[in-house]
Amino acid sequence: MTRPSRLGLLLVTVAAASCSLIPAADRTDPYAIHVANGTAIPVEIVVNGVAAGRVGSGTDQVVDGDGAGPRPWTIVALTAGTGRELLRFTVADGAVDIEGRDQHGSGGRADLSCGRLDVYVGPPMLGPAPGPGVPGDCLP
DSSP letters for 58-119: TEEEEE--GGG-SSPEEEEEEETTT--EEEEEEE-TT--B-SSSS-B-EEEEEEETTEEEEE
Would you state the pLDDT for residue 5?
Answer: 52
Residue 40 lies in a domain: yes
Give the range of the structural domain holding residue 84, as residue numbers without chain letter: 29-121
Residue 138 lies in a domain: no
Residue 54 lies in a domain: yes
Mean pLDDT taken over the chain: 83
Mean pLDDT of 95-99: 88
CATH number, domain at 33? 2.60.120
Residue 140 lies in a domain: no
Would you state the pLDDT for residue 18?
Answer: 36
Residue 106 lies in a domain: yes
- 43, with CB counted inside 10 A (0-12, 13-18, 19+), is buried
pTM score? 0.78
Examine the pLDDT at 61 and tell me if it is beyond 80: yes
Looking at the structure of the chain, the number of domains it has is 1
Mean pLDDT of 70-95: 95
Please write the tens of the pLDDT for every residue from 98-120. 888 889 999 999 999 999 999 99
Residue 10 lies in a domain: no
